[in-house]
Amino acid sequence: MKRLAVIGGGAWGTALAIVLAPRFERVRLWVYEDDVAQRLQAERENDTYLPGFQISENISVSSDLGIAVEDAEVVLSVMPSHHVRSVYAQMLPSLSESMVFVSATKGLEVHTILRMSEIIRLAGTRFPLRVAALSGPTFAKEVARGEPTALVVASPDDDLNRRIQAAFSGPTFRVYTSQDPIGVEIGGSIKNVIAIGSGVIHGMGFGHNVTAALITRGLAEITRLAVAMGGRAQTLAGLAGLGDLVLTCTGELSRNRMVGIELARGRKLDEIVGSMRMVAEGVKTTDAARELARRFNVEMPITEQMYQMLYHGVSPREAIRRLMERSLKGE
């Protein structure tokens, strides 16, 4: 594989373009905002979303989707979850049967409760699309700096997994394979919900005990949901489950954790989200995760209280009280 298209020029998309550029002869990076695309092409730095990191000369930048995906062998989508369906609809005339698709978006489509790989497959109206999901514990800045990173690529098609693994892996970017896209995508999505709760804990001044308990019980409910949907419990003990959950719940760079911190400090959700340049996927995912729990009859108490806090104005302190005073049971 020699030609890569990265669709989404936020911090994560730019970081992926930077780290993968040495493995491809040509990388095209699609950026939605025309002014950002022009500056990035000219200055070789994404001053809006990932300042301080230069992109290499084999990366070309465009705000034209047709140009971005033309002749690509791999299409790597990194746009926010609520834009995936519309962006693929726009790309469809430019896609070919020879392309393979990788989704690095962590989220669920709220009104359909679909995973990102499912939405992408639905775009294959002219021919079936070969789609894999890429997830794991990753902060964009650390990846762009070349710090060692481990992820997992997941698809039922193991040949596709191995091709992506070989194409993407390098000295600082290690990719494992999995045939469980359900577990990988659910882990990568719902961890953002739990991370909001972790931020609330930090913002209220609580210590490590409660954070550890939240991560552990959060992993339990994520695993219950993934298994109910057909995923594998062992997947959630891996990079896309426990690994990503720990990172997002404890890392200072976590946008979802920051939402929780600000909520605990008394700020309103609309104000917090409106002040953020980049998307905190957990806000929308909380609604979708609650609906999935209802559909699959899975108990997800942390997710439920995050939903009540985000969408019904329950105070952070009251949400914690409700969790602590639930009926006693075995682990």
Whether 27 and 50 have beta carbons less than 8 Å apart is answered as no
**How far is Cα 39 from Cα 31, in angstroms, rounded to an integer?**
11
> Would strands 26-30 and 59-62 be described as parallel, antiparallel, or unpaired?
parallel
Catalytic annotation present for 191:
yes
Phi, psi of 312 (to 5 degrees): -130, 10
* Structure tokens that stand for 2 in this block: 């020699």
Beta bridge partners of 77: 7, 103
Backbone angles phi and psi of 70, in degrees to 5: -55, 125
Catalytic residue among 191, 268, 284, 329: 191
Interhelix angle 281-295/255-264, nearest 10 degrees: 90
Collapse the DSSP code of 75 into the 3-class scheme (helix H, G, I; strand E, B; otherwise coil) and give the result: strand
**What whole-number distance in Å separates Cα of residue 224 and Cα of residue 220?**
6
Sequential DSSP letters for 28-63? EEE-SSHHHHHHHHHHSEETTTEEEEEPPTTEEEES
Q: Are 56 and 22 in contact (CB under 8 A)?
A: yes
Closest to 32 in 3D by CA, of 13, 55, 15, 51: 13
Structure tokens belonging to residue 278: 């980049």
* Active site (catalytic) residues: 191
